[in-house]
Amino acid sequence: MNSLKTPQPTEQALFPIFYAIDSQVKVNIARVLAAFRTHSVGTHHFSGVSGYGHDDLGRQTLDRVFATLVEAEAAAVRVQFVSGTHAITCALFGVLRPGDELLAVTGAPYDTLEEVIGVRENGQGALQGSLKDFGVSYRQLPLTPVNTVDWDGLATALRPQTKMVLIQRSCGYSWRSSLTVDDIGRIVRSVKAQNPDTVCFVDNCYGEFVETQEPTAVGADLMAGSLIKNPGGTIVTTGGYVAGRADLVEAATCRLTSPGIGSSGGATLSQNRLLFQGLFLAPQMVGEALKGNYLLASMFSQLGYGVNPTVEAPQRDVIQAIRLEDPEKLIAFCQAIQQHSPIEAYVAPVPAAMPGYDSQLVMAGGTFIDGSTSELSADGPLREPYVVYCQGGTHWTHVAIAAEAAAQAIGPAYC
């Protein structure tokens, strides 16, 4: 395997696609600049406050900038969100009440939401205050046999108690296509045709800036995501966001802080400059990650592996899945990525349990910010069909170097 010749000329063949990505990046950077200009962002917004975080002008302005950018009534961008899952959880608990039903319409949700919803107990056999614990019921609309949204089933899926529909934009750890913004708009229209009061909530993780609109621009009532993914531009050190209808954003922040405080609290701990700058850098970083995804899809499909999405299909988030069919190849792939990461290249990833996940995971993430999937990372659950999920990349040339090493490590699909 070490003598494997990496498929060529992968990069040159993709240059027309790279040009198209750069054109989209330009549109998104223009959108960010327009939002900054609308709200007169200046260096005085970089100062933060301590303690309770009351009257943090920078935080308040960033919220308005973000809301304008995603065409929402309101937004809350907070370093107090531990992760995307935390932001999503605050949205769920902020809106749902005992007796309500949560309906997932894109199949099973991401692993870390299973304990939040209550479809899986934690390792100690407890539900730990899940939605189920609080009397919120859950149902999911399975995907079709070809792993697409069941549009016919969706048209009659709502029940009188269905308070919220959960739409997961990204594929997560599943072999399906991630959703386009148009797909999300179509889901929203189908839901609202059945009950206009049902809240359409989008898990937007990994999808920001992949297109030139976000789900709130096509009717989604609320969405949430992580700042150490796309919108942080690889320099934001922690946090997440919620955006959408003003009353729903406030309800989510009341779960983050407390009723009566809501969005008015939460010190930014001198992070305002990074939050603004990360948002400015985000479209360019997402563009580089998309180029890296096309490289990965091209290279590993030539080696005989199944890839999702394929080179011919549009990238819908910053995740590229490669179906390896072998646990040893999954481990070797991640170890090669780690060895070609800027941080902790000397570490050899091995499968291990992680909080919130049902299966052991093997994860490569030699990133400057721990867990940042805007930087290049690769991971996958140790379960069949042993798919590795590659995310991010600050520049596509780094992805190319790491991908060549991974190809050498695992060889062709049949050898």
d(CA 30, CA 209): 12
Residue 162 has φ and ψ, to the nearest 5°, of -75, 100
Q: What is the token pair recorded at 208?
A: 């920001």
> Do 94 and 236 fall within a single domain?
yes
- Find the domain containing 102 and state its range: 45-270
| Helix and strand counts by DSSP (H, E) for the chain | 11, 12
Residue at which a domain ends, from 270, 298, 329: 270
175's CB contacts (< 8 A; 6+ apart) are: 147, 308, 321, 323, 385, 387
Q: What is the token pair recorded at 259?
A: 């009723």
CATH code (residue 301): 3.90.1150.60
> Do 222 and 85 fall within a single domain?
yes
> Do 237 and 339 fall within a single domain?
no
Residue 63 has φ and ψ, to the nearest 5°, of -55, -45
Q: pLDDT confidence of 12, banded at 50, 70, 90?
A: confident
> Do 113 and 150 fall within a single domain?
yes
Residue at which a domain ends, from 217, 246, 270: 270
Residue at which a domain ends, from 270, 299, 321: 270
Provide DSSP, 185-210: HHHHHHHHHH-TTSEEEEE-TTTTTS
Quote the pLDDT of residue 6.
60
Is 29 within 8 Å of 284 (Cβ atoms)? Answer: yes
CATH code (residue 255): 3.40.640.10
Quote the pLDDT of residue 357.
76
> Do 104 and 227 fall within a single domain?
yes
Quote the pLDDT of residue 111.
86
> Do 260 and 324 fall within a single domain?
no
pLDDT > 90 in the chain, percent: 87
pLDDT single digits (tens) 293-349: 999 999 999 999 999 999 999 999 999 999 999 999 999 999 999 999 999 999 999
Q: What is the token pair recorded at 199?
A: 């809240």
> Do 169 and 297 fall within a single domain?
no
* Cβ atoms < 10 Å from Cβ of 34: 13
Helix (H) or strand (E) holding 256: helix 246-256
**32 within domain boundaries:** no
Quote the pLDDT of residue 5.
61
> Do 255 and 285 fall within a single domain?
no
**33 within domain boundaries:** no
Cis peptide bond prior to 385, omega within 30° of 0: yes
Coil, strand or helix at 347: coil
pLDDT single digits (tens) 112-171: 899 999 987 665 556 689 999 999 999 999 999 999 999 999 999 999 999 999 999 998
**311 within domain boundaries:** yes
pLDDT single digits (tens) 235-293: 999 999 999 999 999 999 999 999 999 999 999 988 999 999 999 999 999 999 999 99
Quote the pLDDT of residue 7.
60
Q: pLDDT confidence of 110, banded at 50, 70, 90?
A: confident
> Do 216 and 253 fall within a single domain?
yes
Coil, strand or helix at 76: strand
d(CA 13, CA 26): 22
Quote the pLDDT of residue 178.
94
Quote the pLDDT of residue 1.
43
d(CA 275, CA 227): 9
Count of domains forming the chain: 2
> Do 188 and 302 fall within a single domain?
no
d(CA 374, CA 391): 7
> Do 197 and 288 fall within a single domain?
no
pLDDT single digits (tens) 51-83: 999 889 999 999 999 999 999 999 999 999 999
**79 within domain boundaries:** yes
